[in-house]
Structure 1
Amino acid sequence: MAQSLTPQALKQQRGFRGMSVNELAEATGVSPASVRRWEAGTQAVGDRTFGRLLKVLRCDAQDLTAGERGTETLQDLRRRAGMSTAEVASLLRRKRASQGLHISAEKVRDLECGRLVRGRTWLSPETQGRVARMLAQVYGIPDRVVIDAWRRTRPNDAAPELPTRRPRNASERALTTWCELNERQRSYLTCIFHQDQEEEKEQRRNRYAGAVQQPAAAWRRLTLALSAPADLVGFTRIQERLREADIHDPGAGSSVSALERRGLITVYRDRLYVDGIGEVPRTRVEMTRHGRAVARAALGVTPVPTPPAALLSPWLWKIVVRVARAGTQGVDGSLAGRGPHYLAVGQSPDGRTPSRGFIVLRLPDGADHGPYRWFLTDSGGRHIKDHIDTYRSLYPSVDVDSIEKMFT
């Protein structure tokens, strides 16, 4: 069942935006009488209108309903997208992956209500994984959000198996581009690439440790050079790499321009204040996707494997295992780091995308006062049961033997 609009919450959100009943009605394409009935609780909001309300009021569905992030069902996701079952079915039928599934509005409704979807192929986890990925594309949300909502909606089904993405081989275009570079240009591209990968590795370590994440646009822009004497400002890390490659005049001239013309890097020029000197010109570079692909192909570098879309990083998996291991005792409510933003009911890692809803902060069973503690949710338990063997293979250093009997 979809999360219902709370009349008082709608009135409050309208007040926050300084909108009258008539203004809200006009913006959402309904009559003022409909808005009044919504706020009185005597009329339900339709699926398409609910999506328009979220856009007009610039709020999250959590702000208008009694539901919390991390508890969404498949029907909730559709309503938030402002679509009817017929519209979703129509969009799904246009996708190549839907061939042979004969998707209809009735099948979408059956899927959302936890009923058996007619059609022999619909029974397989592989087919359900295809449908889950297509829904994520239609709603414009991550695969994992749909998978989590699917498991809450259909807890008795086998877990959907998302289609695996085919590994990419080094493309002829990438290798051809590399062959067209001269030795100096190759050295520049190689040194920039290695620095880019070092920064990416550092960001990954920070993410696993629960640190606040910087946007990629910030950390992928690497300082190449400062236009000031080296004895005053030293060498940048890329310049040091170039010097190790026997390039002792590592400036930001023709080689950098050549790489930019080929679409391998983007160059940014600004000024930086340096104590004792003042403002000095600075050149920063950022690798493009094509540039990264060319470097990987030429150097034989394989991208770092990441967990499948519906699975957790090592850092988050450790937290879930820790909470599961605590059982009915729970884990102290002061759980450190940003883990709860990604995992806890009512939270969000970015203020928009729902959390996984695998843990919840509440009073222990039977208690009516005292400290709150972290407990595993039903959704979290299903996730462990679905994937414990895969996690054991992915992260062998995380001990799951102590919880295995709880989920088998």
Structure 2
Amino acid sequence: MAQLSFSPQALAQWRQLRGLSLDDLAAAVGVSERAVRYWEAGVHAPGGRAFGGLLRVLRCDAQNLLERQRGTETLEDLRRDAGLSADEACRLMGRKRGAERLHVERRKLRDLERGEAVRNRAWMSPEGAGRLVRLMAQAYGVHERVVMDAWRRTRPDDVVPVLPDREKRGSSLVLQQAWDALNSRQRTYLTCIFWQDQEAEEDQKRRRFLGGAGRKATEWRRMDLALYASPALVGHTRIQNRLRQEGVHDPGAGSSVAALERRCLVVTYRDRVHIQGVGEVLRTRVELTRQGRAVARFALGVSREAGPPPPLLSRWLWRILVRVAAAGEEGVDGSLAGRGPHFLAVGRSPAGRSPSRGFIELRHPADVDHGPYRWFATESGWRHIRDYLATYQELYPDVDVTRID
């Protein structure tokens, strides 16, 4: 970890916030008290393993102890943020599937992180680099796009890694057998629950596109199935209305749903909810499992809308990056609408943990130190455009890129 990146003041503040003495923190991390004193004095910075211990003990994010911004991470940063020394990272990657062909070694990893020449042909081919990116993502506990972005910041003159295709999960035979095992009524329930799940998913996409606050999938995928009160008072749930259209008029939480749950196609939750004018009412909620969603998609012939492969952007985010890049030195007004900056801007994070792409930044125009801030493409953003412009033109031909210089 670069000495300038670690913040001694932040460490002292977080230690005090957690009510820990120097001795307490040192004992919990497994180092000497003098080591902690040196860290807080700025004499030394903690190594990879010790830094991981600090994150665990202080229950904070790596960015809380660092002076760098999200979206600027290098390969070395990702490893140290994971609390791993180079040796530990190599051992962890070495246990992953396919690692034997890459011959992961400490010296080669450190050369890679420093941007130096690596004596390993397998690592320097696009396909080999892509396999190594996948191993790093698994070892460091981050998304592959995060490693891809860090790779291009660390080694901008190298070949662009190409991620290997993923093996398809589950065979059509397994999905067909799961569907065949259901009776007609159970299929109706699974179908109605599936379509309500898809409606909820589309609603979340619209909210995000319009810049609204998104909800966690664990919240919106749990849908009301039945309310145990008179329909004259509470009405019917959306799933019940779908069932009624199919000729099913029972409350919607009986043996058919239990059968789907036994087959691990859905999960049910029972609680109480307060309804205005009625009071507390018993409620059953239902959530499709991944297997349940896959079985329904297969049986109904619904292909999953595949998002762009990492590290490519969605059409929505690509439009934003193109707009900012096309503005050149003038930049885009600082009030750039929506949640795009959370995914693209330096210093941001869409989910509070994974860093943004770091492709745009909010700053003053060049040679100006006052007035409004504007959005500009970063070096990483321009590099991403150069790397994948032709691919994006094929993927999203409706996005006008002619104004990009």
TM-score bracket for this pair, using the shorter chain length: over 0.9
Q: Which residue of 2 aligns with 1:137?
A: 138
Alpha-carbon spacing, 1:6–1:263, altered in 2? closer, same or farther (3 Å): closer
Matched letter for residue 210 of structure 1: G
Answer yes or no: is the 8 Å Cα contact 2:208–2:339 preserved in 1: no
Task: State the SS of the aligned residue for 1:260.
Answer: helix
Select between 35-44 and 78-87 the one with higher mean Cα deviation.
35-44
Select between 148-157 and 203-212 the one with higher mean Cα deviation.
203-212
Q: Which residue of 1 aligns with 2:181?
A: 180
Q: Which residue of 2 aligns with 1:147?
A: 148
Deviation at 1:169, TM superposition (A): 6.3
**1:324-378 C-alpha deviation (Å, 9 max, x unpaired):** 1111011111222222222111111122211111111111111121111111110
Q: Which residue of 2 aligns with 1:54?
A: 55
Structure 2 counterparts to residues 59-208 of structure 1, below 5 A: 59-168=60-169, 170-208=171-209
Alpha-carbon spacing, 1:163–1:210, altered in 2? closer, same or farther (3 Å): farther
Alpha-carbon spacing, 1:272–1:83, altered in 2? closer, same or farther (3 Å): closer
Q: Which residue of 2 aligns with 1:252?
A: 253
Q: Does 1:367 pair with 2:361? A: no
Task: State the SS of the aligned residue for 1:99.
Answer: helix
Answer yes or no: is the 8 Å Cα contact 1:208–1:313 preserved in 2: no
Deviation at 1:109, TM superposition (A): 0.6
Alpha-carbon spacing, 1:67–1:247, altered in 2? closer, same or farther (3 Å): same
Select between 56-65 and 329-338 the one with higher mean Cα deviation.
56-65
Q: Which residue of 1 aligns with 2:339?
A: 338
Select between 245-254 and 361-370 the one with higher mean Cα deviation.
245-254
Q: What percent of counterpart residues are identical?
A: 60
Distance in 1, matches of 2:35 and 2:273, equals 57
Q: Which residue of 1 aligns with 2:312?
A: 311
**1:16-74 C-alpha deviation (Å, 9 max, x unpaired):** 33322222222222222222222222233222212212222222333323211111110
Deviation at 1:168, TM superposition (A): 4.7
Deviation at 1:170, TM superposition (A): 4.4
Deviation at 1:250, TM superposition (A): 5.3
Alpha-carbon spacing, 1:243–1:353, altered in 2? closer, same or farther (3 Å): same
Answer yes or no: is the 8 Å Cα contact 1:132–1:160 preserved in 2: yes
Deviation at 1:154, TM superposition (A): 0.4
Distance in 1, matches of 2:95 and 2:301, equals 38
Q: Does 1:273 pair with 2:274? A: yes
Distance in 2, matches of 1:49 and 1:248, equals 60
Alpha-carbon spacing, 1:324–1:37, altered in 2? closer, same or farther (3 Å): same
Distance in 2, matches of 1:370 and 1:47, equals 41
Answer yes or no: is the 8 Å Cα contact 2:74–2:154 preserved in 1: yes
Matched letter for residue 105 of structure 1: R
Distance in 1, matches of 2:28 and 2:140, equals 22
**1:351-407 C-alpha deviation (Å, 9 max, x unpaired):** 22111111111111111211111111101111111112222222233211221xx3x
Q: Which residue of 2 aligns with 1:24?
A: 25
Q: Which residue of 2 aligns with 1:394?
A: 395
Alpha-carbon spacing, 1:35–1:271, altered in 2? closer, same or farther (3 Å): closer
Select between 140-149 and 218-227 the one with higher mean Cα deviation.
218-227
Distance in 2, matches of 1:81 and 1:200, equals 32
Alpha-carbon spacing, 1:17–1:269, altered in 2? closer, same or farther (3 Å): closer
Matched letter for residue 173 of structure 1: V
Distance in 1, matches of 2:86 and 2:363, equals 35
| Structure 2: tracts of 5 or more residues without a match | none
Structure 2 counterparts to residues 212-361 of structure 1, below 5 A: 212-249=213-250, 251-361=252-362
Matched letter for residue 176 of structure 1: Q
Alpha-carbon spacing, 1:252–1:15, altered in 2? closer, same or farther (3 Å): closer
Answer yes or no: is the 8 Å Cα contact 2:345–2:361 preserved in 1: yes
Distance in 1, matches of 2:14 and 2:279, equals 49
Matched letter for residue 260 of structure 2: L
Distance in 2, matches of 1:209 and 1:395, equals 20
Task: State the SS of the aligned residue for 1:33.
Answer: helix
Task: State the SS of the aligned residue for 1:383.
Answer: helix
Deviation at 1:9, TM superposition (A): 2.9
Task: State the SS of the aligned residue for 1:266.
Answer: strand
Task: State the SS of the aligned residue for 2:327.
Answer: helix
**1:283-328 C-alpha deviation (Å, 9 max, x unpaired):** 2211112211221222222211111121222222221111111110
Distance in 2, matches of 1:47 and 1:279, equals 51
Matched letter for residue 127 of structure 2: E
Alpha-carbon spacing, 1:290–1:169, altered in 2? closer, same or farther (3 Å): closer
Task: State the SS of the aligned residue for 1:401.
Answer: coil
TM-score (norm 2): 0.93
Matched letter for residue 182 of structure 1: N
Matched letter for residue 235 of structure 2: G
Count of residue pairs brought into register by the alignment: 404
Deviation at 1:269, TM superposition (A): 2.3
**1:100-157 C-alpha deviation (Å, 9 max, x unpaired):** 2222101101110111211222221111111011001001111111111111100111
Answer yes or no: is the 8 Å Cα contact 1:208–1:316 preserved in 2: no
**1:237-263 C-alpha deviation (Å, 9 max, x unpaired):** 222222222324453222222222222
Distance in 1, matches of 2:34 and 2:232, equals 74
Answer yes or no: is the 8 Å Cα contact 1:210–1:315 preserved in 2: no
Answer yes or no: is the 8 Å Cα contact 1:330–1:375 preserved in 2: yes
Answer yes or no: is the 8 Å Cα contact 2:209–2:339 preserved in 1: no
TM-score (norm 1): 0.93
